[in-house]
Amino acid sequence: MFRKQKSLIGLDLGSQTLKAIEISLDGAEPVITGFARVEIPAGSERSVALGQLCEQGKFRSKAVVTGVAGQNVVVRYISMVPMSDAELRQAIRFESDKYLPFDAQDVVLDCQRLERRTAGEGEAANEEQISVVLVACQKSVIHSQLQEVILHGLQPSAVDVDVFALANAWELSSAGASVAEDGTPVGVALVDVGALRTQINVLLGAETCFSREIGIAGGDMTQAIARRLGLELFEAEAVKRTPGEREVEVARAISPVLEDLVSEISLSLDYVENREGVRVEEVLLSGGGALAPGAVDFIEQALGRPTRVWNPLEGLRVDADRVNIEELEASAASLAVAIGLASRVRAA
């Protein structure tokens, strides 16, 4: 299933919008050589939109990486006794029963040793143990997703987890870890506000130390706008994206949603800081919901931390002969997951 590729498509199968980024290697340099974005009309099947996406993108490659997210995916940070990577992969199947709400036979499991020593969830730090991130996804979800892309002539190369794709996109665009002047790692929180969920991945240096999904996102903002302004949902979504003279009204409408979202983000960051003994110095926002009127300023003020929308295209060369740069840049804030998925071309 895994084969070497010089080009790879990162396919973000969002609930409202499908996004695809193709990254090709020019020597060792990653170059964006394809881009497509298609809305899924209300009441329409995603498969139809996926066909349009493939046709629109005119990608040079058929190899694709997709991501999974939601309640069918479990991520846990755990501690284990020291062992080799080969032993770890053998042992994780037996350890997983303690942490999974699913039957281990019904999931696909993976794990990764972490370089930084941290306490597992609900545990005290123990220098004689290693830190491991455990990931599991129900097999039925993966199989359904693979069948969907295969039906459109694509060749699955890997299935990633959306929240980790965020970190890969950050690494690709920032060209390295965030460190303080004395060389110590700096905590950075990547917060992606999608339509159905908000995903958080906290990085210390270049390594994840915490991730979480929150069930408050852009769709809740749209519903709040619809209720307050007396609009249909499709009208509220349009006003959220392009408020024009109604920007103040929209900002007021979504403020209760942002309050709930910030409360959950704050709890997450406090948990990380108490467990790690470090401060998360910056919050980097992505996703369409982060562009809602007043959202960035509201989140920054409520969290009391520098907050900005980050551009995952930064530092990446774009093939202007194959990609409409203006359209690409207009969608930049919502492309972090797709870029992170496609960044796997470097390891192919």
Residue 123 CB coordination number (10 Å): 13
Q: What is the CATH code of the structural domain delimited by 214-307?
A: 3.30.420.40
Give the range among 116-130, 145-159, 201-215 with minimum mean pLDDT: 116-130
The CA-to-CA distance between both ends of the chain, in Å, stands at 12
Residue 109 CB coordination number (10 Å): 16
The band of 2, judged by pLDDT with boundaries at 50, 70 and 90, is: very low
Element spanning 317, H or E: strand 317-318
**Domain at 7-70+140-176+311-347, CATH class:** alpha beta
Give the range among 95-99, 153-157, 321-325 with minimum mean pLDDT: 95-99
HSE value, Cβ hemisphere, 13 Å, CA-based, for 264: 18
Q: Is the pLDDT of residue 243 over 70?
A: yes
Closest CA relative to residue 32, chosen from 20, 22, 19, 45: 22
Q: Is the pLDDT of residue 49 over 90?
A: yes
Q: Is CATH 3.30.1490.300 the classification given to domain 73-138?
A: yes
In this structure, what is the dihedral angle of CA atoms 135, 72, 200, 250, given to the nearest 10 degrees?
170
* Per-residue pLDDT, 293: 95
Q: Is the pLDDT of residue 240 over 50?
A: yes
* Per-residue pLDDT, 94: 85
* Per-residue pLDDT, 4: 47
Average pLDDT, integer, range 78-105: 88
261 - beta bridge partners? none
* Per-residue pLDDT, 117: 65
Give the range among 11-20, 37-46, 287-296, 319-328 with minimum mean pLDDT: 37-46
Looking at the chain, the domain(s) classified CATH 3.30.1490.300 span: 73-138
With beta carbons less than 8 A apart as the criterion, state whether 244 and 153 touch.
Answer: no
pLDDT above 90 covers a percentage of the chain that reads: 76
Q: Is the pLDDT of residue 1 over 50?
A: no
Q: Is the pLDDT of residue 187 over 70?
A: yes
Average pLDDT, integer, range 218-230: 97
* Per-residue pLDDT, 15: 86
Residue written as token pair 């005290």: 124
Q: Tens digits of per-residue pLDDT, 4-28?
A: 458 999 999 988 999 999 999 998 8
With beta carbons less than 8 A apart as the criterion, state whether 310 and 290 touch.
Answer: no
- Antiparallel, parallel or unpaired: β 207-214 and 280-286: unpaired
* Per-residue pLDDT, 144: 94
Q: Is the pLDDT of residue 247 over 50?
A: yes
Q: What is the mean pLDDT of the chain?
A: 90
Looking at the chain, the domain(s) classified CATH 3.30.420.40 span: 7-70+140-176+311-347, 214-307
Q: Tens digits of per-residue pLDDT, 189-215?
A: 999 999 999 999 999 877 899 999 999
pTM: 0.92
